[in-house]
């Protein structure tokens, strides 16, 4: 009889243990997602005090089905952008048949939680609809397709989206103008036309150009920041309606800019009377199993350098993560391993990188 009782007790305790391990640290109650209590210090509360944008890209699936995801998102960030829901293929899956359901859900969430909404992205080489890629279009047809897409989307959200990534990644890795359907079919002027069309559709929206640099925009990686500077300086020279630049930060532990190098690049671009935002930040760790304490500290140190450089350049008005929890990151599907690149772990527990970001914002004198 005793053996039976001890076996049942063991069974009960092990069940409790499993429940504890798999229960994320954030309250998983079934209450509707609400912002984190006012008095709790969060990245959002710290950033709001400095009138600084702290944002995250939002994945539609987790937003719709994971209450903890939406709760942490609303509590920790004051601006959001869709990871995929506003790309061409998502919004216009068939010619002239727009599907705004996913994008509307994210815009509505931002509105419900008093967050600023950033649109990503109108013109890019990827995320294109199959019908567009399959077509044999004349220049006039492509101009009309692109104009119609931009103006239909931007005018729908007029007044509800404060800024747009109009053109994303128009520069190739070697810093030449990237070859894509729009440049081949319309010519390099597709860039200028896109900003003018977006501005016509919503004159009050801030229009950004977003770019990727493998070296993370450190001055030593030089070449791409030179090409970016020339591109945006030329657009400004020709009075193209351009308000800001987004610098993507998809980094690895062994490939990140220094604080000084990034600050130099930010200051250089700030000369062009543009806002700058650090966008799409994630710092993946090549490892098997769980990252070591040393890797987590190294990751935190990189995150701190990135946001500190932004905080120390007045024209750098915002900092974005590409997702926010290791539970959902594009890295898993694209790199074949999670790389634990973000600031919350898969159980929504803040990592050392979270603390480093919070401390930098709190200490910022802006
Ligand atoms: O929604 C379809 C689904 O219906 C289909 O079954 C599935 C399998 O084919 O594909 C799903 O679409 C995928 C989409 O993500 C949504 O999950 C696309 O194939 C996939 O290519 C797409 O990947 C996204 C990628 O951009 C391309 O759009 C990544 O999630 C997203 O993180 C990544 O983000 C980009 C930024 O927009 C621009 N900067 C670089 C960054 C990383 O590549």
Which atom of ligand 1 is found nearest the CA of 248? 39
192 Cα–ligand 1 center, Å: 26
- Say whether pLDDT at 18 is over 50: no
Alpha-carbon gap, residue 354 to 43, rounded angstroms: 8
Number of domains in the chain: 1
Whole-number average pLDDT of the chain: 90
Give the structural domain span for 167: 2-363
Alpha-carbon gap, residue 329 to 285, rounded angstroms: 13
**Catalytic residue IDs:** 169, 280
CB 248 less than 6 A from any atom of ligand 1: yes
**Residues 222 and 257 sit within 8 Å (Cβ to Cβ):** no
331 Cα–ligand 1 center, Å: 11
CB 130 less than 6 A from any atom of ligand 1: no
Q: What is the 3-state secondary structure (H, E, C) of the chain?
A: CHHHHHHHHHHHHHHHHHHHHHCCCCCCCCCCCCCCCCCCCCHHHHHHHCCCEEEEEECHHHHHHCHHHHHHHHHHCCEEEECCCCCHHHHCCECCECCCHHHHHHHHHHHHCCCEEEEEEEECCCCCCHHHHHCCCCHHHHHHHHHHHHHHHHHHCCCCCCEEEEEECCECCCCCECCCHHHHHCCCCHHHHHHHHHHHHCCCCEEEEEECCCCCCCHHHCHHHHHHHHHHHHHHHCCCCCCEEEEEEEEECCECCCHHHHHHHHHHHHCCCCEEEEEEEEEECCCCCCCCHHHHHHHHHHHHHHHHHHHCCCCEEEEEECCCECCCCHHHHHHCCCCCCCCECCCCCECHHHHHHHHHHHHCCC
Residue nearest to ligand 1 atom 21, measured at CA: 127
- Say whether pLDDT at 302 is over 60: yes
CB 165 less than 6 A from any atom of ligand 1: no
Token pair listed for 242: 């351009």
Residues 213-253 pLDDT 10s:
887 888 766 678 999 999 999 999 999 999 999 999 999 99
Q: What are the Cα distances from residue 326, in Å, to 107, 281, 322, 344?
A: 23, 13, 10, 6
Sorting pLDDT into bands at 50, 70 and 90, what band is 142?
A: very high
Q: Which of 85, 81, 240 is nearest to 162 (CA)?
A: 81
Q: Which of 133, 330, 342 to mutate to test the pocket of ligand 1 (most atoms within 8 A of CB)?
A: 330
140 Cα–ligand 1 center, Å: 29
345 Cα–ligand 1 center, Å: 21
CB 211 less than 6 A from any atom of ligand 1: no
Residues 61-115 pLDDT 10s:
999 999 999 999 999 999 999 999 999 999 999 999 999 999 999 999 999 999 9
**CATH code (residue 74):** 3.20.20.80
Residue nearest to ligand 1 atom 1, measured at CA: 90
Which atom of ligand 1 is found nearest the CA of 121? 37
**Residues 284 and 336 sit within 8 Å (Cβ to Cβ):** no
Alpha-carbon gap, residue 37 to 298, rounded angstroms: 31
Q: Which of 249, 229, 210 is nearest to 119 (CA)?
A: 210
CB 87 less than 6 A from any atom of ligand 1: yes
In angstroms and rounded to an integer, the radius of gyration of the C-alpha atoms of the chain is 22
- Say whether pLDDT at 8 is over 70: no
Q: Which of 56, 63, 84 to mutate to test the pocket of ligand 1 (most atoms within 8 A of CB)?
A: 84
CB 280 less than 6 A from any atom of ligand 1: yes
CB 139 less than 6 A from any atom of ligand 1: no
Q: Which of 155-169, 289-303, 309-323 has the lowest mean pLDDT?
A: 289-303
175 Cα–ligand 1 center, Å: 24
Sorting pLDDT into bands at 50, 70 and 90, what band is 16?
A: very low
334 Cα–ligand 1 center, Å: 9
Which atom of ligand 1 is found nearest the CA of 322? 32
Burial class (CB in 10 A: 0-12, 13-18, 19+), 267: middle
Instruction: Tell me the angle at which helices 223-237 and 259-270 cross, rounded to the nearest 10 degrees.
Output: 20
Residues 28-71 pLDDT 10s:
333 333 344 556 899 999 999 999 999 999 999 999 999 999 99
Alpha-carbon gap, residue 126 to 109, rounded angstroms: 26
Give pTM, 2 decimals: 0.90
pLDDT of residue 333: 77
Computed from CA positions of residues 283, 128, 57, 269, in that sequence, does the dihedral angle turn out positive or negative? Answer: positive
Residue nearest to ligand 1 atom 34, measured at CA: 83
127 Cα–ligand 1 center, Å: 7
Residue carrying the six token digits 């634990």 = 340
């Amino acid at each position: 009889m005793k053996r039976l009782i001890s076996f049942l007790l063991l069974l009960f305790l092990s069940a409790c243990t499993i429940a504890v391990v798999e229960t994320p640290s954030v309250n998983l109650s079934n209450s509707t997602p609400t912002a984190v209590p006012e008095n709790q210090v969060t990245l959002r509360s710290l950033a709001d005090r400095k009138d600084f944008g702290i944002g995250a890209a939002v994945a539609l699936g987790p937003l719709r089905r994971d209450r903890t995801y939406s709760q942490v998102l609303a509590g920790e960030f004051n601006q959001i952008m869709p990871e995929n829901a506003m790309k061409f293929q998502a919004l216009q899956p068939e010619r002239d048949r727009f599907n705004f359901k996913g994008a509307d859900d994210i815009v509505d969430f931002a509105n419900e939680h008093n967050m600023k909404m950033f649109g990503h992205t109108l013109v890019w080489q990827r995320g294109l609809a199959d019908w567009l890629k399959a077509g044999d279009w004349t220049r006039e047809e492509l101009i009309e397709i692109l104009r119609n897409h931009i103006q239909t989307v931007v005018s729908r959200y007029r007044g509800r989206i404060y800024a747009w990534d109009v053109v994303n990644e128009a520069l190739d890795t070697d810093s030449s103008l990237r070859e894509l359907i729009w440049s081949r079919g319309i010519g390099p002027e597709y860039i200028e036309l896109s900003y003018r069309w977006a501005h016509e559709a919503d004159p009050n929206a801030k229009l950004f150009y977003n770019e990727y640099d493998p070296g993370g925009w450190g001055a030593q990686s030089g070449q791409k920041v030179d090409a970016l500077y020339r591109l945006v300086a030329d657009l400004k020279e020709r009075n193209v309606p351009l308000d800001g630049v987004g610098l993507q930060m998809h980094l690895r532990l062994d490939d990140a800019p220094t604080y000084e190098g990034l600050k130099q690049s930010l200051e250089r671009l700030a000369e062009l009377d543009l806002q700058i935002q650090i966008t799409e930040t994630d710092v993946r760790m090549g490892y098997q199993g769980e990252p070591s304490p040393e890797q987590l500290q190294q990751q935190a140190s990189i995150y701190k350098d990135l946001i500190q450089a932004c905080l120390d350049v007045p024209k750098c008005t915002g900092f974005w993560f590409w997702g926010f929890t290791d539970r959902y990151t594009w890295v898993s599907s694209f790199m074949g391993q999670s790389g634990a690149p973000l600031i919350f772990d898969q159980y929504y527990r803040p990592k050392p990188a979270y603390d480093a970001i919070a401390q930098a914002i709190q200490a910022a004198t802006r």
